[in-house]
Structure 1
């Protein structure tokens, strides 16, 4: 991870005043087509630009990329993408319930283990309104953007290996806590769905 951060930092820094825009574009690309890890980008944002600007780039860039992917999926249509979802992730879009979309998307964004393309494609093809997609994605992306940007800043400021290990352990515990919370919210959402039936 540290080698990747160094390479990315050096790459982005070479753009000088354009560096924040370059990092923003990388976040958009990562959210639409995740070819490199979000945690590396967000940590680089914290290291290079401090917490405030790094967080904004991580959160808003990921949100813009998700919106771009949503609209591309809508334009491409149902059949080819539904088949891709089923083949790639074993997810049948016909089983998707748009009435619980807000909670489903938000919880999926909270759990950093759910593939971003799965969320974007399922929402676009599952009849989810763009407003619900944007608001749930914006809220769901906040914790990881804060955490990973803060992680990058903390690693940049850390002077010894013990501090770095402590930061990484705290990050893992926080992610496990998010996963537990998301699971609890998911159970609550399913219970509410069954009550409506």
Structure 2
């Protein structure tokens, strides 16, 4: 009992501490609001300018930005992926984006695992988690691999949802890393070459591709669900 009570107080203390920092440390509160605003603009150049403003600390700031967007789902991670490619070159940018996204995914996983569903719902949304739950029930670990093929879509809700399952951390971690790596390399390479109107055009294509994949997956889930219902009804009729 003492250990349980101690761990509970530690969890509460961390939450209270973070809230106090946000409420009473003005630079932190102002900085978070600015970051959220930058993400809402969907402007890679704005993100690049913000990262560059920190000089030699730019890679560390980029790393922390990726972790922040992971926790504060569903901010778009692809903005940082493109910004890193433009600032540090596509190879170093890809490595930075991949490693920071992995750190963010692990943090989301453990937040859900330690604090439970209520905390995950507040950081994401109840509806989104319920939908991901269904996806996990149907596809299990493959859900992680599928979602990680789309790095320009926030994957963080899936990371939270994985933390609520019985899935082991290392199974989650390896599936995340393998699924994310190919797309991160591709989009870092493309992002390093984008400028002006071409950038907007590619963004449009990425969004269209993303929506197409999501529609396909939702249609597949819907068809599978209907097939299962039909099979269940047939079985009931045969029994009667």
TM-score, normalised relative to structure 1: 0.72
Instruction: Give the aligned partner of residue 158 of structure 2.
Output: 119
Query: What root-mean-square deviation, in Å, do the aligned CA atoms of Structure 1 and Structure 2 show?
Result: 3.7
Instruction: Give the aligned partner of residue 45 of structure 1.
Output: 84
Pick aligned residue for 1:132 from 171, 188, 204 = 171
Instruction: Give the aligned partner of residue 194 of structure 2.
Output: 155
Q: What do residues 12-42 of structure 1 show as CA deviations (whole Å, max 9, x unaligned)?
A: 1121111111101111111222363211111
Task: Tell me if structure 2 keeps the 8 A contact 1:31–1:66.
Answer: yes
Q: What do residues 117-153 of structure 1 show as CA deviations (whole Å, max 9, x unaligned)?
A: 3201211111111011101111121233223322321
Q: What do residues 103-129 of structure 1 show as CA deviations (whole Å, max 9, x unaligned)?
A: 121112224586523201211111111
Query: Of the two, which has the highest radius of gyration?
Result: 2
TM-score, normalised relative to structure 2: 0.60
After TM superposition, the structure 1 = structure 2 runs for residues 31-110 of structure 1, keeping only pairs within 5 Å, are 31-34=70-73, 36-78=75-117, 80-81=118-119, 87-89=126-128, 91=130, 101-110=140-149
Aligned length: 183
For 1:86 and 1:10, the matched residues in 2 are separated by 31
Q: Flag structure 2 segments of 5+ consecutive residues without an equivalent.
A: 1-38, 229-240
Q: Flag structure 1 segments of 5+ consecutive residues without an equivalent.
A: none
Change over 3 Å in CA distance of 1:92–1:54 after alignment to 2: closer
Instruction: Give the aligned partner of residue 45 of structure 2.
Output: 6
Change over 3 Å in CA distance of 1:81–1:42 after alignment to 2: same
Looking at both structures, which has the greater relative contact order when contacts are Cα pairs under 8 Å and sequence separation is at least 6? 1
